[in-house]
Amino acid sequence: MRLTRFTDNALRCLMVLGWEPDKAHTVQSIARSMSMSYEHLVKIVQRLAELGYVETVRGRHGGVKLARAPELVRIGDVVRATEESLALVECFTPGTNACPVAPACQLAGFLDDALTAFLAVLDQRTLADVLEPREQLVPLLRTTPTRLARGRG
């Protein structure tokens, strides 16, 4: 299982917002602190707003902030909502399945069980869980990408 960059960046965006849930952050500051593409993050924030995870605030002190408490944001729900498809193999999608052995193959069932287990683990975790250990994670946000690239924190 490999998550898309969209989902990865959505989770990282939520992490930044979760460390200061009442503060509105600019998309530019989030992108910079997490080494993301600004343009890509704009699309992610729009999707997270549609899903009700974040709210956007207009005006001079505007930006984006969490719309829910970190304890109420289930990681499994975010993954399901931001992944375009959770079809691990072709036969998971009946409309495009061209696998000749699909009717008798056991592999699809095994993979479906694995995907279910993967999501079950993520369903047990919230954004609040991801935000620990705060004292180690937050200072990393204040480190510039250039310093991180050199291996210095």
CATH number, domain with residue 51? 1.10.10.10
Number of domains in the chain: 1
Which helix or strand (DSSP H or E) is residue 66 part of?
Answer: strand 63-66
The answer to whether residue 91 is domain-embedded is no
pLDDT band of residue 114 (cuts 50, 70, 90) is very high
The answer to whether residue 34 is domain-embedded is yes
The answer to whether residue 95 is domain-embedded is no
Full residue range of the structural domain in which residue 51 is found: 5-84+127-148
Q: What is the pLDDT of residues 29-40, one digit of tens each?
A: 999 988 899 999
The answer to whether residue 131 is domain-embedded is yes
Burial environment of residue 46 by CB neighbours within 10 A (0 to 12, 13 to 18, 19 or more): middle
Q: What is the pLDDT of residues 1-28, one digit of tens each?
A: 789 999 999 999 999 999 888 889 999 9
The answer to whether residue 50 is domain-embedded is yes
Average pLDDT score over the chain:
86
